Structure 1
Amino acid sequence: MKYIDFHVHIDHYDDANEILKKCEENQILTLFVTNLPEIFEKHYGYYKNYKNVRLALGYHPDLISSEEYQFNENLFNSQLLLTKYIGEVGLDFSKHNLPYKEKQIEVFEKIVFMGSMMDKIFTIHSRKAEKEVVDILEKFNVRKAIFHWYSGPLKLVDRILDLGYYFSVNIGMLKSMNGRKILQKLPIDRIIIESDGPFTKYLGEISRPEEIEKIYHEFEKFYETENLKNIVYENVRSLLKG
């Protein structure tokens, strides 16, 4: 049974090739999320032949404020047939991004419409826009979605679960009171482990594939369970079959 890291930005590591090598050597089923369709296009030919690394097609909402990284809809749509995963995508209504709220919604709805028509699996960014994200997913009848590093209202969690969606959780959530409250509310059959590397740290160092077993043990202690590796593996199998 393999360990799973279902949200990691491999291209943001200084030693991306070494990270890739470790994912393969350690048999970690890894979802490499991208922030732009151009990044997906650049890496697809190289990564498609790896056994344990899957490449997701993304457009991060942070980039809408940038003149340089506007959403290339034609390129995005042309790459959709090459993967079953869409991410990282979503909405972000934090202070810096709030002025671009309407543009974010416009782009996200285009992505969700196309992805839902093709029954893709979404890994979702939803900072301070959780309700709006859920509304859009429901509007377009998305069947398969994972809320990445959810930090929103507890009262919305039940609605997300009722829609059949999952949550990918990382070591950063164990470090905050709000994160632990959310983790306590999540049923263990709806969680998937992510590192979100290199944007999280374990024991003061940037999260790397070598630490994934230790991170699983941290969550086993939190949930007072054993064999989380098997549980997460079955959760991902259920997601893929659903």
Structure 2
Amino acid sequence: MIDLHAHIDLYPDPVATTKECVDRNLFVLSVTTTPSAWSGTAALAKDAARIRTALGLHPQIAQERQSELPLFEELLPCTRYVGEIGLDGGPELKGTWDVQRRVFDEILRMCSAAGGRVMTIHSRRAATQVLDSLAARSEAGAAILHWFSGTRRELQRAVDQGCWFSVGPAMLAGEKGRAMTAIMPPDRILTESDGPFAQINGRPLFPWDVEAAEKALAKIWSVSDEEARHRLLENLRRLTTHVAPEKSDGFSHDSKS
């Protein structure tokens, strides 16, 4: 199973959650919300062959953490994965919009200068602006739109720009989420939990809950659960060789789970 977007450091017991992921042989991309959280979060998975830690600066706290951009640039050579980054157009964040744009554009510049990264991107109520920024920095790497909630027109533009998508149980629990997923290219979809923020029936999702997303995708694609899992593993393999394949880190070399 694959969880391409989980906030492992923000679970009540990150050590136990990490151990459970290892015991279940999950592929996990552990995202961070600030550069200062990266080293400690990466240490949680230092002995986990199937867990990678992404370097992030979340748009919802860009105003408070913009001073960490130099640290972001310092740490960027340590990882091929970046996230959670992006833009949030929620009305409660209107006052931080200009800072968000500056931070996101600066991160994309850094990724471009570093030769590209695999990026997991937040685009709530800001899909067009995120896509504009990605179009201006196409060399920044592989863009994965996490929990995409834009319009169908924005989705088509994202597809045309070569974006990937990660979908989870919470997104697929709704009719709109399933309908949007049905028109995403199957070869550019991966699963996520977005735990512990995403919930089902009031319960925070854990990385192993992506099994529900696998089953939902199997129904959408009209294939068996086994075929859906095989397709997702193949997608992961292609994604992780998309950016700097000569520096492949083994994230998906063993794809038996």
**Shared fold per TM-score greater than 0.5:** yes
1:212 shift after superposition: 3.1
Q: Where in structure 2 are the equivalents of 1:42-61 lying within 5 Å?
A: 42-61=40-59
Q: Residue 62 of structure 1 is aligned with which of 60, 63, 72? A: 60
Select between 74-83 and 153-162 the one with higher mean Cα deviation.
Answer: 153-162
Q: Is the 8 A contact 1:65 1:97 kept in 2?
A: no
Aligned with 1:49: secondary structure? coil
**Letter aligned with residue 110 of structure 1:** E
Provide the rounded CA distance (Å) in 1 between the counterparts of 2:106 and 2:183.
31
Aligned to 2:177: 179
The 10-residue stretch of structure 1 (27-36 or 157-166) with the greater mean CA deviation from structure 2: 157-166
* Deviation larger for 154-163 or 30-39: 154-163
Aligned to 2:122: 125
Q: Aligned equivalents of 2:135 and 2:189: distance in 1?
A: 20
- Once the two structures are overlaid, the 10-residue window that deviates more, 210-219 or 108-117, is 210-219
Give the CA RMSD over aligned residues: 1.6
Question: Which letter does structure 2 place at the counterpart of 1:22?
Answer: E
Secondary structure of residue in 2 paired with 1:5: strand
| Alignment TM-score, normalising by the size of structure 2 | 0.87
**Identity %, equivalent residues:** 34
The count of aligned residue pairs is 238
Q: Which residue does 1:85 correspond to in 2?
A: 81
Give SS of 1:145's match. strand
Offset from partner CA, 1:107-149 (integer Å, 9 cap, x none): 1110001112221111000111111111111101133110000
Match of 1:113 among 92, 109, 118: 109
State the Cα deviation string for residues 168-227 of structure 1 (Å, max 9, x = none): 001111222322221121121111000111122345522123433343223322332222
**Which amino acid in 2 is paired with 1:208?**
F
2:186 and 2:14 mapped to 1: Cα distance? Answer: 31
Q: Which amino acid aligns with 1:94?
A: G
Structure 2: runs of 5 or more not aligned: 243-257
SS in 1 for 2:91: coil
Runs (5+) with no aligned partner, structure 1:
none
Q: Which runs of at least 4 in structure 1 moved beyond 4 Å after TM superposition?
A: none
SS of residue paired to 2:90: coil
